[in-house]
Structure 1
């Protein structure tokens, strides 16, 4: 059975790219473009991995990661942050929030897929 990956990304082009890349590597990928839907979708979809944009409208990806870590049903799901935040200290701050991996945008396809494989 294919591993399930939930992508939380507000940029429709990035969301399509991530879903297409993962599906091409035999993952069951589902995307949400509104972070307010992320937790409910994660509970329903039960992903093996969540790929989380950090800069989202309405709710921060960091807040979503914190909410996942506080939720018994979601706390064990690994999170890979994919973000344009690449300033000094951003990776440490994102990992401290509970993300297990960090990939900066624009992504390297090989690094992106490799990070997904390493987490799964």
Structure 2
């Protein structure tokens, strides 16, 4: 099983992308794969636990407005597991209000990006957060 601290530089970084809008999910996923990342996309958060256990993401990209369970509840779930709260989580949301950003950061998100985002900005932020979490 691969963990966040594995240093196998030949393996691509694993990104879990949770985004309910299919075109947004496909665009971000395709771009990140093109950039050399290994991406697993979910359209909702009900499979969060099983996906983390099986895919072992090294970073999570999370939309807040999701069907069934919202991104805030997923942030809370991530904070309840010691292994999971170590995974940097970047919120990518259309919610632009300061209170939404503050709430997400208080719930454990390491960064908050407001849609629409430039894909180059997304990869820059991913690399910055991965550099912070590297041993």
TM-score bin, normalised by smaller chain = over 0.9
Contact 1:39 1:64 in 2 (8 A): no
1:73 match: 83
Contact 2:28 2:119 in 1 (8 A): no
Which protein has the larger Cα radius of gyration, Structure 1 or Structure 2?
A: 2
1:110 match: 120
1:12 match: 22
Whole-Å separation in 2 of the counterparts to 1:88 and 1:67: 22
1:64 match: 74
What secondary structure does 1:90 align onto? Answer: helix
Is it true that 1:52 corresponds to 2:59 in the alignment?
no
Instruction: Tell me how large the CA RMSD over aligned residues is.
Output: 1.0
| Count of paired positions | 120
Whole-Å separation in 2 of the counterparts to 1:116 and 1:56: 21
Whole-Å separation in 1 of the counterparts to 2:72 and 2:50: 16
> What are structure 2's unaligned runs of at least 5 residues?
1-10, 131-135
TM-score by length of 1: 0.94
Contact 1:43 1:73 in 2 (8 A): no
1:89 match: 99
> What are structure 1's unaligned runs of at least 5 residues?
none
4+ aligned runs moved over 6 Å, structure 1: none
TM-score by length of 2: 0.84
